[in-house]
Amino acid sequence: MERVQKYTKPARVFHWMHVGAFLLLLITGIILFVPAFGAAAQDSWTRVIHRIGAVIFVLAPLIQIIANRTTAWASVKRAFAWNGDDLKWATAMPRYYFLGDESAMPPQGEMNTGQKLWYTLLLIFGPIFLVTGILMWFFKYSLPSAVFQWSVFVHDVAFILIFLMFLVHIYLGVIHPMMRKHGGSFSSMVDGTVTAEYAKSHHGKWYKEVAKK
C-alpha cells in the first residue's frame, strides 16, 4: 500500500516524550484523586514521579518549539486557522463517526478540525496545569492557604476535563472502527507515515499538496 510521510522523526520523538510524561502525570494524578488508589501514594514516590513528569511535560514541547522555530510556528498557525470547512466538519462528523458516511466530510488540511480542537485544548489546559501545579509545588509556604486550596480544585477540574477528552482522543484516533479500516492515524506516530488512502479521506487538502511535490 502506498504511504506518505506525515511527521519527521524529531517531531515523533518529542511527541512520545510528551505522551509518556502525560501518562505519568495522569496515572500519578489519579492515584491522588481516587481514594481507592490513594494508598499507592504512600512514602511520596508517586508524587516524585508526578514532578518529574511535569518537568518533561513542560520541557519537551518547549525544546521542540525552540529547536524548530519556523515549523513550530507554522503548526501553531495551522492549528488556529479555523475556516468554514471546520463548521462543515463539525456538522458532518456525527454521520461519519456513527454511520461511516464520509460523503459530507469536507476535505481537510494537515490538521483536521478534531485535531485542531485537541491542540487548542492542550494549549489552554497545559498552562492551567502548569500555573496551579507551580503554586502547589513552590509556593506552598509563601502564599495564603486559600491559594493552595483552590489550586488543588482548579488542577482537579482541568484533570477531569482533560481525562475525558483524552478518552475521546484515543478512541477516535486509534480505536474507532473507521480508523482501523483506513490503517488510521496511529502509524503516523510510530513510523511517521500514513496510508495514501487515509491521507486522501482525512486530509484531502493536505494530500493534494503533498502529491504535487
Partner 1 sequence: MAEKAILYDSSKCTACRGCQVACKQWWGLPGETTTQRGTYENPPDLSADTWVKIKFKEISNGNGGVEWIFTRRSCMHCTDAACIRVCPTGALYHDPSGVVAYNKDLCSGCGYCVEFCPFDVPRAKGNNLTGIRKIDKCGLCGDRIGNGLTPACVKTCPSGALVFGDQSGLVDVGNKRVQELKSTYPDAYLYGEKELGGLHVMYVLTQTPDVHGLPAHPDVPAAAIATDDILPPLAYALTGLAVVGLGINYLVARANANKEAEAKAKK
Residues that bind ligand HEM (CB under 6 A): 22, 25-26, 29, 32-33, 47, 50, 54, 57-58, 129-130, 133-134, 136-137, 152, 155-156, 159, 162
Tell me the Cα Rg of the chain.
19
> Is 2 exposed, middle or buried, given 0-12, 13-18 or 19+ CB atoms closer than 10 A?
exposed
Separation of alpha carbons 95 and 100, rounded Å:
7
Out of 66, 141, 212, 213, name the contact with partner 1 by CB under 8 A: 141
- Given a contact cutoff of 8 angstroms between Cβ atoms, the answer to whether 194 and 6 are in contact is yes
Q: For residue 15, which of 78, 60, 54, 80 has the smallest C-alpha distance?
A: 60
Q: Which residue has the cell 509545588?
A: 137
Residue 38 touching partner 1 (CB under 8 A): yes
Residue 134 touching partner 1 (CB under 8 A): no
What minimum distance in Å lies between the beta carbon of 130 and ligand HEM?
4
What minimum distance in Å lies between the beta carbon of 21 and partner 1?
17
In the complex with partner 1, the residue whose CB is nearer, 27 or 41, is 41
Out of 181, 205, 208, 209, name the contact with partner 1 by CB under 8 A: 181
What minimum distance in Å lies between the beta carbon of 53 and ligand HEM?
7
CB atoms within 10 A of CB 20: 14
Residue 86 binds what, of ligand HEM, partner 1, none (CB under 5 to 8 Å, by partner type)?
Answer: none
Please give the grid coordinates belonging to residue 109: 488540511
Separation of alpha carbons 56 and 87, rounded Å:
35
Separation of alpha carbons 133 and 151, rounded Å:
7
Residue 142 touching partner 1 (CB under 8 A): no
Out of 97, 119, 125, 186, name the contact with partner 1 by CB under 8 A: 97
Q: For residue 101, which of 111, 110, 93, 89 has the smallest C-alpha distance?
A: 93
Out of 5, 10, 150, 190, name the contact with partner 1 by CB under 8 A: 150
Residue 134 binds what, of partner 1, ligand HEM, none (CB under 5 to 8 Å, by partner type)?
Answer: ligand HEM
- Given a contact cutoff of 8 angstroms between Cβ atoms, the answer to whether 26 and 34 are in contact is no
Q: Site residues (CB under 8 A) for partner 1?
A: 31-35, 38-39, 41-44, 46-48, 50-51, 97-100, 137, 140-141, 145-146, 148-150, 152-153, 156-157, 160, 163-164, 167-168, 171, 175-178, 181
